[in-house]
Amino acid sequence: MHDILGGSNPTARAVTGVVANAALSGQLPFAKPNGANLPVSNGVPSNSNNNGILNNNNVPLLVGLGGTTSNILHNNGNNLLNGLPVANGGQLPSGSSLQMLMFGTMTVMDNELTEGHELGSGLLGKAQGFYVASAVDGTSQTMAFTAMFESGGYKDSISFFGVHRTAASESHLGVMGGTGKYVNARGYAVVKTYTGGSGNSQQPHQFTDGLETVMECTVYLSY
């Protein structure tokens, strides 16, 4: 699946936590109360170098299926949160770290499922659901989502629940259930993530101006 934060066609949106806060207010966390993570209409991106498509107002930094620090560095090469340096912790609450700030952030996703790693490769369907940053140190996401397959009009689906450990080479998610041809399915998925997106050369083909994470899922079922 292709998890795209920010950009002109995002497929995932942080809805709770510090990141949603920062994305709306354009300030450091705790400076203002929480808000939905929407593009800011009247904000002038001050740190964007690509005409404002991907900027520090509409990219939820720190989150994403690919992990934490990599995404920050990914965005502009510095530990910036909405344009302000935070690595020194000068403006962070005492005892906080970037990873701890993430803890609890919930992100809703409507990600494309494709056959290959490329966003443009054969569309299989959608993965809809959400993930929650569930490790205090920011290294895992509790995921709950349904993979729905386009073939047959989205009647066939498999739902997963489990913890994706972003720092590990792979994680396993349990199958919660299924519909259509996968009704009563049991099993698990092995998931691996590859961080792509703007300015990154790990993935050869990028079709988005957002911050893309590719999650490769290999599913083992009995039904």
Q: Residues 3, 6, 7, 11: which binds its own copies (CB under 8 A)? A: 11
Determine the interface stretch with its own copies among 38-46, 67-75, 78-86, 206-214 (rule: CB under 8 A). 38-46
Which residues touch 22 (CB under 8 Å, ≥6 apart)? 28, 29, 60, 61, 81, 82
17 binds its own copies (CB under 8 A): yes
For its own copies, the closer CB: 169 or 201: 169
- Give the total of residues touching its own copies (CB under 8 A): 80
Q: Does 82 bind its own copies (CB under 8 A)?
A: no
Q: Say if strands 140-149 and 156-165 run parallel, antiparallel, or are unpaired.
A: antiparallel
Interface mask toward its own copies for 141-180; x: CB under 8 A = -x-xxx-x----xxx-x-x-xxx-x--x---xxxxxxxxx
181 binds its own copies, rule: CB under 8 A: no
In our burial notation (b when 16+ CB lie closer than 10 A, e otherwise), range 183-201 reads eebebebebebebbbbeee
Give the nearer residue to its own copies in terms of CB position, either 32 or 205: 32
By the rule CB under 8 A, 104 interacts with its own copies: yes
Binding flag, residue 134, its own copies (CB under 8 A): yes
> Does 44 help bind its own copies (rule: CB under 8 A)?
no
Q: Minimal distance in Å, beta carbon 190 to its own copies?
A: 9
CB 157 within 8 A of CB 147: yes
Smallest gap from Cβ 204 to its own copies, in A, equals 26
Q: Is 183 in the site for its own copies (CB under 8 A)?
A: yes
The least CB distance from residue 76 to its own copies, in Å, is: 22
Among the listed ranges 74-82, 122-130, 195-203, 205-213, the one in contact with its own copies (CB under 8 A) is 122-130
Smallest distance from its own copies to CB 52, Å: 10
